[in-house]
């Protein structure tokens, strides 16, 4: 009995030691979260509008992982406040570029969706755990201190307090100097009946700003997703990659660009 009690005390001490090792060394978890939110707040205040180029490639794969079908769409994206406009520049399906007529038809459908006159009646809500408006909706956990591309980072996990059908765990690599998000990764958190694999990652990069010293602007430069699932003979395997480039910040975009504001 005495031996078991001693073993239990050693185990508890070891567990506490391990838990303490998972805490930041010189800053608390709450302080990290608040600094990340403050960075996001300053970025949103600074960014009135911006333009960038998006190259999106979608691939459908067979059981061996070979590409069955592929589609690459190049767009110019205009963002102002909470709205955006997508201008389709080119579309390539299975190695063949679509003609101008087809591109025009696709653009007309896109404009209708943006103006609210198409089939899409609801605007898709994309949330970010460190946005000011998401305050109080997430629980945060410190995972460890890490290094990403030679930069020291804090690795955090964010979970929504309101549980839904979301089955992905979100991890964020936070730059220890600027407290900007350098990477977001989503992993399958629990086994799903019809989902064998689902994961994604988004990489951010800081953009130099000459006219302001205390704002660190981090923009996504790439997104990758892959998944596999289905049942019986309706199984699918896919991967998607998006690359963002040619950022132009605060260029004074006219409201006439956006179909819903015309």
Buried b (16+ CB within 10 A) or exposed e, 197-224: ebebebbbeeeeeeeeeeebbbbbbebe
Q: Which domains does the chain have, with CATH numbers?
A: 31-261 (2.50.20)
Computed over its alpha carbons, how large is the radius of gyration of the chain?
Answer: 22
Q: Which residue has the higher pLDDT, 165 or 51?
A: 51
- Residue 5 predicted with pLDDT over 90: no
| pLDDT (mean) for 188-217 | 75
What pLDDT was estimated at residue 190? 61
The predicted model gives 14-33 an average pLDDT of 66
Mean pLDDT computed over 11-25: 46
Banded model confidence at residue 18, pLDDT cuts 50, 70, 90: very low
Q: What is the pLDDT of residue 167?
A: 58
Contacts of 67 (CB under 8 A, 6+ apart): 59, 60, 61
pLDDT computed for residue 81 by the predictor? 86
What does the pLDDT read at residue 160? 79
pLDDT top residue among 111 and 165: 111
pLDDT beyond 90 at 195: no
pLDDT at 237: 85
pTM equals 0.79
Tokens standing for residue 97? 């570029």
Which DSSP string do the residues of the chain spell out, in sequence order? -HHHHHHHHHHHHHHHHHHHHTS-SSS-HHHHHHHHHHHHHHHHHH-SEEEEEEEEEEEEE-TTS-EEEEEEEEEEEEEETTEEEEEEEEEEETTEEPPHHHHHHHHHHHHHHHHT-SS--SPPP---TTSGGGTTSEEEEEEEEEEETTEEEEEEEEEESS--S--EEEEEEEETTT--EEEEEEEE-S--SSEEEEEEEEEEEEE--SS-SS--EEEEEEEEEEEEEEETTEEEEEEEEEEEEEEEES----GGGSGGG-
Q: Cα(213)–Cα(241) distance, rounded to whole angstroms?
A: 33
91 pLDDT band, cuts 50/70/90, is very high
Q: Mean pLDDT across the stretch 103-132?
A: 73
């Amino acid at each position: 009995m005495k031996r078991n009690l001693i073993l239990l005390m050693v185990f508890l001490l070891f567990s506490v030691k391990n838990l303490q090792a998972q805490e930041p060394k010189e800053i608390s978890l709450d302080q990290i979260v608040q600094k990340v939110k403050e960075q996001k707040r300053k970025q949103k205040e600074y960014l009135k509008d911006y333009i960038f180029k998006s190259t999106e490639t979608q691939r459908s794969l067979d059981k061996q992982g070979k590409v069955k079908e592929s589609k690459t769409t190049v767009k110019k994206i205009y963002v102002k406040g909470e709205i955006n406009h997508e201008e389709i520049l080119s579309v390539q399906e299975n190695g063949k570029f679509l003609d101008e007529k087809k591109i025009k038809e696709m653009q007309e459908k896109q404009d209708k969706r943006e103006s609210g006159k198409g089939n899409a009646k609801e605007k898709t809500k994309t949330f970010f755990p460190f946005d000011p408006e998401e305050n109080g909706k997430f629980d945060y956990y410190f995972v460890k201190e890490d290094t990403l591309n030679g930069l020291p980072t804090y690795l955090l996990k964010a979970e929504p307090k309101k549980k839904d059908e979301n089955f992905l765990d979100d991890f964020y690599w936070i730059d220890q100097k600027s407290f900007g998000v350098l990477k977001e990764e989503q992993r399958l958190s629990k086994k799903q009946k019809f989902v064998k694999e689902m994961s994604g990652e988004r990489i951010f990069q800081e953009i130099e700003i000459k006219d302001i010293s205390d704002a660190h602007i981090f923009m996504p430069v790439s997104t990758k997703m892959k998944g596999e699932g289905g049942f019986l003979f309706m199984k699918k395997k896919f991967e998607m990659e998006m690359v963002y480039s040619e950022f132009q910040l605060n260029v004074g975009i006219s409201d006439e660009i956006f179909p819903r504001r015309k």
